[in-house]
């Protein structure tokens, strides 16, 4: 990289990083109600990272971007020890470089319109394409935030054993659908995470679009409508600055007619949720030398060790602590053989 290329790269990288981040985001409700331990933990960890100058968040207003996309995926329905929630929030008008590079990767590895997913990581073409696919993802301006919640934590909204049952009852009484206690707890965790990050990273008069994976939280069109109403109509105002008004808000589940570009964005949280849940469960149940992961999972972990020019990645966890408290922390990955990196300075104020 010559001096001119380096200068332009530094300028571009700094344009994509949010300056003067407003943290903590949470404002104590006048009613005295408490935030969930999940969102309090997220807010605390981000605030600590910002205080230590270790936090990079995307500026989703850069280059006049006026639309925000949220893409979410989840793992943990099987025998694993963690429920993992992964959310990508990105600039919808800033994704052309990502999609152009992914199109080339798909052509070179004969992937066609094949969905890139954790469950298919053993597929040969996908294994070979993964490093280039992830390198392309680093061009996407946004944040990929993943949180693993230990399944021993039955609810993040209260310590009483019947809290999920109470949540399900409240949703039904509010006209927001009938769901099992387990599904109601999951739905509320996801809705609050989405609402929190939309409030943190959005700006006045932007458009917001949320695509969630096919899942029991919204298996029908009516339940999807209820999900959108709950998130954008009921929960988002709880976190949003009063002066912020959105132009358009909407959402979808993956389209019946396959949209490769949309699915490629949804694939990023799918991959991270899958590999993180799988690894954490094995780490808790096996000796370190006995842990085996899918070959392409190693590429994903290496990718998580570094922020991209556009995409920032954060992985966190919640688990039971002592005295009934919940422990929270950030998950860091360190490669045994560090890759060659180009260091780009990020300034506190716009350069």
327: helix, coil or strand?
Answer: strand
- The pLDDT value recorded for residue 68 is 94
- Containing structural domain, residue 128: 38-52+59-177+256-330
Instruction: Answer whether residue 211 is part of any domain.
Output: no
Kindly report, residue by residue over 139-190, the tens digit of the pLDDT: 999 999 999 999 999 999 998 999 999 999 999 999 999 999 999 999 999 9
Rounded to an integer, what distance in angstroms lies between the CA atom of residue 117 and that of residue 268?
A: 8
pLDDT of residue 182: 95
In a domain, 199, yes or no: no
> Residue 215 falls within a domain, yes or no?
no
- Report the pLDDT value the prediction gives residue 335, as an integer from 0 to 100: 74
- Res 258 pLDDT > 70: no
Whether the pTM exceeds 0.85: the reply is yes
pLDDT over 90 at 286, yes or no = no
**11 lies in a domain?**
no
Instruction: Evaluate whether residue 72 is within a structural domain.
Output: yes
In a domain, 86, yes or no: yes
Mapped onto helix, strand or coil, the DSSP state of residue 43 is helix
Cα dihedral across residues 193, 95, 74, 293: positive or negative: negative
* Residues in CB range of 9: below 8 A, 6 or more apart: 1, 309, 342, 344
The number of residues in the chain equals 351
Mean of pLDDT values over 112-137: 93
* Phi/psi-derived region of residue 42, left when phi > 0, alpha when psi is between -120 and 50, beta in every other case: alpha
Q: What is the mean pLDDT of residues 313-331?
A: 92
Would residue 127 count as lying in a domain?
A: yes
Listed in order, strand segments (DSSP E) in the chain are 67-75, 82-91, 142-150, 207-212, 248-252, 311-320, 326-330
> Which is more confident, 295 or 158?
158
Binning pLDDT at 50, 70 and 90, where does residue 23 land? very high
The pLDDT tens digits of the residues spanning 99-114 come to 999 999 999 999 999 9
pLDDT given at position 29: 60
User: For the chain, what is the domain count?
Assistant: 1
Residue 128's contacts (CB-CB under 8 Å, 6 or more residues apart) are 109
């Amino acid at each position: 990289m010559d001096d001119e290329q380096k200068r332009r790269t530094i300028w571009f990288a700094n344009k994509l990083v949010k300056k003067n981040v407003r943290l903590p985001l949470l404002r104590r409700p006048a009613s005295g109600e408490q935030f969930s331990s999940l969102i309090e933990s997220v807010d605390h960890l981000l605030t600590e990272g910002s205080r230590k100058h270790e936090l990079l968040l995307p500026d989703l207003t850069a280059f006049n971007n006026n639309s925000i996309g949220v893409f979410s995926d989840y793992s943990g329905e099987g025998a694993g020890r963690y429920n993992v929630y992964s959310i990508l929030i990105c600039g919808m008008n800033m994704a052309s470089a990502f999609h152009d590079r992914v199109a080339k990767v798909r052509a070179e590895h004969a992937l066609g319109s094949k969905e890139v997913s954790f469950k298919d990581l053993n597929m040969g073409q996908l294994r070979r394409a993964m490093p280039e696919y992830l390198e392309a993802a680093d061009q996407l301006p946004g944040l990929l935030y993943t949180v693993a919640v230990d399944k021993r934590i039955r609810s993040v909204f209260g310590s009483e054993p019947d809290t999920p049952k109470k949540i399900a009852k409240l949703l039904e009484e509010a006209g927001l659908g009938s769901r099992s206690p387990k599904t109601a707890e999951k739905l509320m965790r996801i809705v609050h995470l989405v609402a929190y990050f939309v409030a943190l990273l959005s700006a006045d008069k932007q458009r917001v679009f949320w695509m969630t994976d096919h899942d029991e939280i919204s298996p029908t069109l009516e339940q999807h409508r209820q999900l959108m109403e709950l998130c954008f109509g009921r929960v988002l105002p709880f976190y949003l600055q009063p002066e912020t008004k959105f132009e358009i808000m909407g959402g979808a589940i993956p389209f019946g007619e396959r949209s490769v570009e949309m699915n490629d964005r949804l694939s990023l949280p799918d991959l991270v949720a899958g590999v993180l849940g799988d690894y954490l469960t094995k780490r808790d149940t096996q000796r370190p030398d006995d842990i085996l992961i899918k070959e392409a999972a190693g590429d994903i972990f290496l990718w998580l060790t570094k922020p991209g020019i556009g995409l920032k990645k954060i992985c966190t966890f919640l688990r039971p602590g002592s005295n009934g408290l919940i422990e929270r922390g950030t998950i860091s990955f360190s490669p045994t053989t560090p890759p060659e990196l180009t260091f780009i300075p990020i300034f506190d104020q716009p350069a």
